[in-house]
Amino acid sequence: MKIEDGSMDINIEIKESKIIISWADVKADYYKIFFKKEDIFYEAARVYDNTSVRFSLVSYGENECFVQAVRDGQVIDESSKRQFKFDTIDVQYRFEDDKNIKLFYSKYEGADGYRLYRNEDEIGFNGFKNSDTEYITTELRAETEFKVKPFKKDDDCGRKFLASSFVVKTNENRFESVSIYKSYNYNNFLSWCFTGDADGFLVYTQNLDKPIFETTDKLQHFLPLYDYKGTSKFIVKAFVNTPDGRLIIAESGKISLSIRKYKKPVVSLIIPAYNAQDYIVRSIDCALASDFDNLEIIIVNDGSTDDTQKIIDWYDKNYPNVISIVKNNGGVADARNKGIEAANGEYIAFMDNDDLIRPDMIRKLYDAIMKNNCDVAIAPLYRIIDNGYTIHCNLPFMEDIPLDIDKYLDIMYTPGYYNCAIWNKLYRASMVKAHPLGLLKYEDVSWTPCILSYAEKFCFLKTPFYEWDRKTRPQTFGDVLAKMPEEELFENRKQAMLFFLKNGNPQKIDYLKTIAIRRLMRYSKNSSNPAYQDLIKKIETGKF
């Protein structure tokens, strides 16, 4: 087919030292992005599951690019060729070994060389090394801040500097952990924890030069492995996109099947399960991949009628830290309470059977509780939908310090902080065992204010660790509740409010009344039912 030049929309955004190119979705199999170099356009990247891509190390000065859409091997659409000017120096880095670091930076056409500066505290940034290529390797020292400046040689003053990069802190771009565990049905599960700002990941087997898997999902942290022997070894690499192709910024060591270290239950992770045979394997695998060794995983089968228990039994048999509980169907709150009763850990966390946790979630929350001597540690969470990740529960608190619980109760259910998730927290077990969930429809709305009212101190981390997956199973029980008849819906919401008003900490009743009123006001905005206002008045007067 004939392609009309410029028929696709394309947008270029300069964000600090990066370029983000986005385009209209024309339902292609993938998109090819081209950059111009020395009057020739070269393919710089292919994007399969998105309509935007970020580039690092774009050349200083005038640039030109365009995008092609490909379907069934044929170019079906093409953007116009866009010119743009880039006026900063970007820097990327990679740890070569324990002693050396390699820094890469944007090309400055016409520069005679590039000078590397290091922050040396007392004297500030000090230039100490030159290069005539687009990279410099230097010895690692305690200082982690660098700048790069391209220069022209000058007979009068030695060097004339042409530009400067931002300050670069070289304290990331590492794999904190990589593991492989046995998964259900003779498969394996590869998981990694990466710190840094990658554009994607590549997975290799030990003896192959080409990756067996690649993703441009920068938040990806796992890969199910099918049909590989237990002796196989794998390598994970993190990359960023550049006009010259992918640049590897970190590489894991060779990793093979791991043996789960487990001595005693310090943290209990409770997973209620109901007819979850299609997705629970992934959730259990993510829990097992946690880099917190003393994690007890309690899976409560709430009367499933499919093969959920068969899957749970396999994990119970193969992993000493997995505990299986079977009960008659009674709802998610009842299942969680059975898990709470059985929990042996000093702290308790919750996870749903179709969600994910990142490998460092339990460790980071536990370390924060230990450091700050708190009853609860809290972090934001990711919500996963078709168009990607959004962050929820991002609270306006200083990070990793002990805070009075009143500060949390003071903003709970205010605009922007409605979310009442129970999964993005780690709780002191004694507190949870003393105040289990109510057997209600809105079990999270009712229990979260209740349990937090009994905490004295909490701490907050700004990194999302929990992944609330609305893509795998889009309809939740909350969606079912929202379709109830108006009177039944009100009654369920009323019981949720009354639960934490009557079962919460009496010393926090004024906070709890305010929280209930806020929530009811929000419900009433979308309802003509006068019962909401009647209940609000009763709560205000204490006659509930």
- The domains located in the chain, with CATH, are 10-86 (2.60.40.10), 91-169 (2.60.40.10), 174-251 (2.60.40), 267-469 (3.90.550.10)
Q: Which whole-number Å values give the CA distances from 350 to 131, 447, 478, in the listed order?
A: 52, 13, 18
**Cα gap 388→222, rounded to integer Å:** 16
Q: Which residues on adjacent β-strands are paired with residue 225? A: 188
Q: What is the pLDDT of residue 2?
A: 45
Q: What is the pLDDT of residue 478?
A: 59
Q: What is the pLDDT of residue 157?
A: 72
Q: What is the pLDDT of residue 156?
A: 74
Q: What letter represents residue 479's amino acid?
A: D
The torsion angles phi and psi of 344, rounded to 5 degrees, stand at: -105, -10
- CB burial readout 157-168, b (16+ within 10 A) else e: eebeebbebeeb
Which pTM value belongs to this model? 0.92
Q: Which helix (H) or strand (E) holds 22?
A: strand 18-23
**Cα gap 65→529, rounded to integer Å:** 57
| Residue 176 falls in which region: left (phi positive, over 0), alpha (psi -120 to 50) or beta | alpha
Structure tokens at 145: 């801040």
Structure tokens at 281: 């394997």
Rounded mean pLDDT for each run of 10 residues along the chain, 544 residues in total: 63 94 94 95 93 96 96 95 95 95 96 95 88 94 89 85 95 95 95 97 92 94 92 96 97 92 94 97 98 97 98 97 97 97 98 97 98 98 88 94 97 86 96 96 93 98 95 65 83 95 97 96 90 95 87
What is the Cα 325 distance to its own chain's centre?
Answer: 29
**Cα gap 340→430, rounded to integer Å:** 10
**Cα gap 91→166, rounded to integer Å:** 8
**Cα gap 81→175, rounded to integer Å:** 38
Q: What is the pLDDT of residue 527?
A: 87
Are 69 and 76 in contact, with CB atoms under 8 Å apart? yes
Instruction: Find where tokens 């990658």 sit.
Output: 198
What is the DSSP-derived secondary structure letter of residue 199?
S
Instruction: Find where tokens 């983000």 sit.
Output: 20
